[in-house]
A and B are shown apart, each in its own frame.
Chain A
Amino acid sequence: MSARLLRAARMAVVVLLVAAPGLLEAQSVVQRGAAVPEGVALRLWIPAGSVEVRHWTRDSVDVKATLAPGSQLLGNVSGGAGKYSVESLSPTATDFPRADIVLTVPVGATLWVKSTTAAVSVVGGRGQLDVLTVTGSVSVRNATGVVTVESIEGDVTLDSISGLVRVRGGSGAVKVNNVTGRSVITLVRGSVEVNAGRAAESVVPPGRIETVSGSVTVRGRMGDEDQLTIVTHDGPVDVSLDPKSIPQVTAIDPPQPEAFNALVKALGAPNSSARLVIDSFKGTLNIRPIGGIR
């Protein structure tokens, strides 16, 4: 073997030794499955990355996690309950444990998902769903049942949900589309946008929207007999209503009563038993029929 070849071989060994830890730390994929009853209760704790929850009609759970270097998936399902968590391999790690998870569960599963920064996406399901996050975005669509989202700063989108929707949080924006049932939204700084669905029979969900400084935008038809209460401190309120169903509008001590009364008058006489109550300490109020003033 020539001296040049020997040098090259030595270099290759050195390069391998240097690169080995990096190669060992590459992403890993873990997949686990288990047979469970349809109403299984699952808890998932994922600090960073993302989780996509899917539902199927089988009586089993499937979890596929693409783990970042230094992270591991712990937990299992036993009987009617289970818990998975993404954790660091090293107790001295300073980064959040991270994974991209696809979790497939029975449609009737009860889920509790906790994320620090991880994005949470849930599609389908008719069991109870609770999501808790610091900054991760949360998206839930095509679900039935009780959906509760608590977010300190993450944005929340709820689309096509039938049941009770509860959102509590600090600064994230909340968008609610096509919710049939009832919604209770309580924020501090976050803005709230509520839209009825596109279908002719879709209505704005009754309930309560409360935010201190965030804006509130509501657009659509109010259902007969429904009541919607909007409360802000200085957040502006903008309501666009279907003129075919004008509710009884009440504003509690509005900041500019003459202007508000003019808007209500322009809206037209109530032609349904629905009630809209607005209570804002000093936020601007705007209320109008969809399509402009008649």
Chain B
Amino acid sequence: MTYCNHLDARLEAYLAGALGPAECEALEEHAAECARCAPILEERTRVSFELARELPPPASVRAGVVQGLGARRPARVTSLITRRIVPIAAAAAVLLFFGVARPRTKAAMLRDVALTNSHQLAVSRADPAFATLAQAQLELRAARDAAAPDARARVDQALIRMSEQEAELRRLIREFDQ
């Protein structure tokens, strides 16, 4: 239980990309083996990615892509790109697609772009609240499974309220989508 408490305390830092590699590894190893922490980490990572989907890519990235598409390269360089870099990039993309990339890296990307505009700041600052809601919902669902039928109605009501709070937070975030 000691490490579980440690995970609770370090989860936000982990998702924000603020932990060192060793700490990340220890946390992931623990979560992989702990029945309590595994679903928490999974849920939190899912929430982070759902939020990440709402984010447009930073202007600098867009500009870089547009510039890159328009640039003309010498034949030798193009050939090098085709023969060497493209296969490596494709392999990396496949690895990323199948989830080899650590959540920390993606979370760190979230953090990097979080301060570029009001909407992104809102997304970033709402993250702890979504985490709290996710954790509470997990606890309620576990309690619901073990509860007597008449007690389930109360748990269901609480779950509905939390879903409404999530929806309210998302609406609030959208208010800052300029």
- Which A residues form the contact surface with B (CB < 8 A)? 47, 92, 94, 96, 114, 116-117, 132, 134-135, 150, 152-153, 168-171, 186, 188-189, 210, 212-213, 231, 233-234, 252-253, 281-282
Contact = CB atoms under 8 A, between A and B. Distances in A.
Contacts of B169: 152, 170, 188
Main secondary structure of the interface of A (DSSP, over half): loop
B154 interface: yes
Interface of B: 59, 116, 118, 121-122, 125-126, 128-129, 132-133, 136, 139-140, 143, 151, 154, 158, 161-162, 165, 168-169, 172-173, 175-176
A189 B132 contact: yes
B146 to A, nearest CB: 13
Given A134-B118, A134-B176, A252-B154, A170 B136 contact: no
B125 A233 contact: no
B128 A189 contact: yes
Given A96-B118, A170-B129, A186-B165, A114 B175 contact: yes
Contacts of A212: 132-133, 136, 162, 165
Contact of A253 (B132, B139, B151): B151
Contacts of B139: 233, 281-282
Contact of A168 (B126, B151, B161, B172): B172
B158 A281 contact: yes
Nearest 7 A/B pairs, CB to CB: A170-B129, A188-B129, A116-B118, A153-B125, A233-B136, A134-B122, A152-B125
A47 B118 contact: yes
A147 B162 CA distance: 23
A152 B140 contact: no
Given A212-B136, A233-B136, A233-B162, 8 more contacts: A47-B118, A116-B176, A135-B121, A152-B122, A152-B125, A170-B126, A212-B162, A253-B151
B165 A171 contact: no
Nearest to A231: B161
A132 B175 contact: yes
B118 A152 contact: no
Contacts of B122: 116, 134, 152
A153 B124 CA distance: 10
Contacts of A188: 129, 132-133, 165, 169
Nearest to B155: A281
A135 B143 CA distance: 34
A249 B32 CA distance: 45
Contact of B172 (A116, A150, A171, A231): A150
A282 B122 CA distance: 29
B116 A94 contact: yes
